[in-house]
């Protein structure tokens, strides 16, 4: 029996809460309007059809309003009959880590507080996305149902809860509603340890090879430090901008040659590291570089497929692959030689989720610097870096040599993206 009280707060519906392919993203000032966050989350809780006493996962990329929004969602969840919320310490979880946690803990879904690669801070963007029990993004029909609910709601239910210390791991029983604060890295790192040969990667670093990973003051800094430095033995200075900040240090946390120009310059400079990489605000995108070269996203996913045999977790191959429509056909060429189906999807990661859930693919990628596999149901930046580390450590080749060998075998594919 619950010992907290809940109440109904009446308000007029909003007309601008239609989710995109990855949740609702708006300016921070929009989310700070009275009732705005509450009504959208209420619409999602109403539409998800959760069982009584459901378990949810909650966390975000640490951008401005992350912590306050997490506390509000806890109160909404309690008032709507949710039994347990698993939240990352400090209200933090990378998007791929949250996807894995939903699956590993058999949760009924999750709320992710992120606007991905959009700028943060009081004048930046904020976002809320809801993932299903598969760990994947909400399908179109669910997003449509949530939007319809936002246009009809006359208010929301919210609980009066004592404040939980989100900075201390442990379980807090609030009388019929449990808040479980977990280390945001532990479960995700344990998953990666089942996929990659960490001993071989340690040997690569012991041999004097160097990595530079730019977390762009997003969520991946603590993950990268734990995995690359503490576990694999990379030098401490391997991590650039590793402390998450509410405004991402004033950066646009998008891993591409324009917004990560410093990394590109480092790759082209004197004595560059053997492998350079960056990830975005919530940790799902990646950019890979080597001395004198930047790997295009279309080439990256194709190279990964051609070299899966070097990664223990994928030694048995994959049932198929997929790319988004704007992505180059480099992946198609490798799939054809391997006799694998290669699917073309509309833009939006949730379309990959359909194929992953059906067991038709095990690897996928898109031209907007997103790559992933069946290990989670989101794209995964750190995973992609570990894939490339596995390839260069197993082959003994540098990034540029891996690319040159790939082009010599499969041809070179080019594409252009123009934004207006």
The catalytic position among 116, 324, 368, 393 is 116
Beta-strand relationship, 370-373 and 363-366: antiparallel
Q: Helix, strand, coil shares of the chain as percentages rounded to 5?
A: 40, 20, 40
Instruction: Report the alpha-carbon distance of residue 110 to residue 376 in Å, rounded.
Output: 14
Q: Which residue has the tokens 């030689």?
A: 337
Instruction: Report the alpha-carbon distance of residue 72 to residue 128 in Å, rounded.
Output: 12
Instruction: Report the alpha-carbon distance of residue 322 to residue 315 in Å, rounded.
Output: 19
DSSP secondary-structure letter at 115?
-
116 catalytic per annotation: yes
Instruction: Report the alpha-carbon distance of residue 338 to residue 308 in Å, rounded.
Output: 11
Q: Which residues of 95-118 are buried (b: 16+ CB within 10 A; e: fewer)?
A: bbbbbbbbbbbebbbbbbbbbbbb
Residues 56 and 48: beta-carbon distance below 8 Å? no
Catalytic residues: 116
């Amino acid at each position: 029996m619950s010992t907290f009280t809940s109440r109904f707060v009446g308000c007029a519906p909003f007309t601008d809460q239609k989710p995109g392919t990855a949740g609702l993203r708006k300016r921070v000032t929009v989310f700070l309007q009275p009732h705005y966050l509450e009504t959208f989350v209420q619409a999602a809780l109403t539409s998800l059809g959760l069982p009584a006493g459901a378990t949810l996962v909650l966390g975000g990329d640490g951008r401005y309003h992350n912590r306050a929004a997490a506390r509000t969602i806890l109160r909404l969840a309690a008032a709507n009959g949710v039994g347990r919320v698993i939240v990352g310490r400090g209200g933090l979880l990378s998007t791929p880590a949250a996807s894995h946690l939903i699956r590993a803990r058999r949760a009924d879904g999750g709320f992710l507080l992120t606007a991905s690669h959009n700028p943060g801070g009081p004048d930046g963007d904020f976002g809320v996305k809801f993932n299903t029990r598969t760990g994947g993004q909400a399908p179109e029909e669910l997003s449509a149902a949530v939007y319809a609910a936002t246009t009809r709601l006359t208010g929301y239910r919210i609980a009066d809860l004592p404040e939980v210390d989100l900075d201390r791991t442990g379980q807090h029983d609030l009388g019929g509603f449990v808040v479980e604060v977990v280390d945001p890295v532990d479960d995700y790192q344990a998953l990666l340890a089942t996929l990659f040969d960490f001993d071989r990667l340690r040997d690569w670093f012991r041999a004097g090879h160097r990595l530079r990973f730019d977390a762009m003051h997003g969520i991946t800094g603590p993950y990268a430090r734990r995995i690359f430095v503490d576990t694999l033995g990379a030098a401490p200075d391997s991590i650039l901008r590793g402390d998450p900040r509410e405004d991402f240090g004033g950066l646009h946390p998008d891993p591409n040659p324009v917004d990560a120009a410093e990394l590109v310059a480092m790759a082209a400079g004197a004595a560059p590291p053997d492998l350079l990489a960056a990830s975005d605000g919530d940790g799902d995108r990646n950019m890979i570089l080597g001395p004198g070269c930047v790997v295009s996203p279309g080439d990256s996913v194709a190279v990964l497929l051609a070299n899966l045999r070097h990664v223990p977790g994928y030694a048995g191959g994959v049932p198929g692959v997929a790319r988004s429509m704007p992505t180059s056909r480099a992946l198609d060429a490798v799939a054809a030689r391997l006799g694998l189906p290669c699917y073309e999807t509309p833009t939006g990661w949730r379309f990959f989720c359909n194929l992953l859930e059906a067991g038709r693919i095990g690897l996928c990628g898109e031209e907007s610097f997103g790559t992933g596999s069946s290990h989670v149901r989101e794209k995964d930046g750190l995973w992609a870096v570990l894939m490339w580390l596995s390839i260069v450590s197993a082959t003994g080749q540098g990034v540029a040599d891996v690319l040159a060998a790939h082009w010599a075998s499969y041809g070179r594919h080019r594409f252009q993206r123009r934004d207006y």
